A = this chain, B = another copy of it.
């Protein structure tokens, strides 16, 4: 049974947050299809019976794991840029951090979302759609941010900011994916550099990340 509210009882001995965290780490490394319910329960350090008691199954845990991933992903900071705030410094710092994190990961796992978009969109209707939403959200946020940055005179776009936003999301997914093959932080950063210069960011703004 799932938890019911009522009189007291034995409390869960595991932290649900910790369990989801461990599940997320596993999905991150092995993808969705590469993980079984057994693997999950093992990684979450709970019995398989507890697993089925407390969670609806692999797909449900995956949903929660993705949410958890979004909380710790380097690009979460882009969602927190407010209106009126400077965009470029945060953008540059975020990309720097992303390169650092991807290169520092000894397992070269790349990005959980990107990996699973490749794996699940068009394969699993439900999970694929959920992941598409994450990408759509990133697109929406970037449209707002690039419009804002241009309006604030932070850079001189050579094409429509909506086009830049789309190119940025594509660039970001490519960077995450290629980071599984290109392992040197400096080379990953050079990709960011090339992209940023290309969309009109000034050289001077790149080093102050």
Contacts and interface: CB of A to CB of B under 8 A. Distances in A.
A69 B166 CA distance: 27
Contacts of A107: 122
Contacts of A172: 174
Interface in A98-123: 107-110, 114-119, 121-123
A117 to B, nearest CB: 6
Contacts of A178: 135, 169-170, 173
A8 to B, nearest CB: 44
Interface residues of A, number: 48
A203 to B, nearest CB: 9
B166 A182 contact: yes
Interface stretch (A17-25, A48-56, A76-84, A188-196): A188-196
The secondary structure that dominates the A interface is helix
Contact of A171 (B29, B164, B166, B174): B174
A66 to B, nearest CB: 15
Contacts of A159: 190, 193-194, 197
Contacts of A123: 29-31, 34
A187 B170 CA distance: 11
Nearest to A133: B181
30 contacts: A31-B119, A31-B123, A33-B33, A34-B119, A34-B123, A108-B121, A114-B118, A116-B118, A117-B118, A117-B181, A118-B119, A119-B119, A121-B181, A159-B190, A159-B194, A163-B191, A163-B193, A166-B182, A167-B190, A167-B191, A169-B178, A170-B171, A170-B174, A170-B177, A170-B178, A171-B171, A172-B174, A173-B174, A173-B178, A177-B177
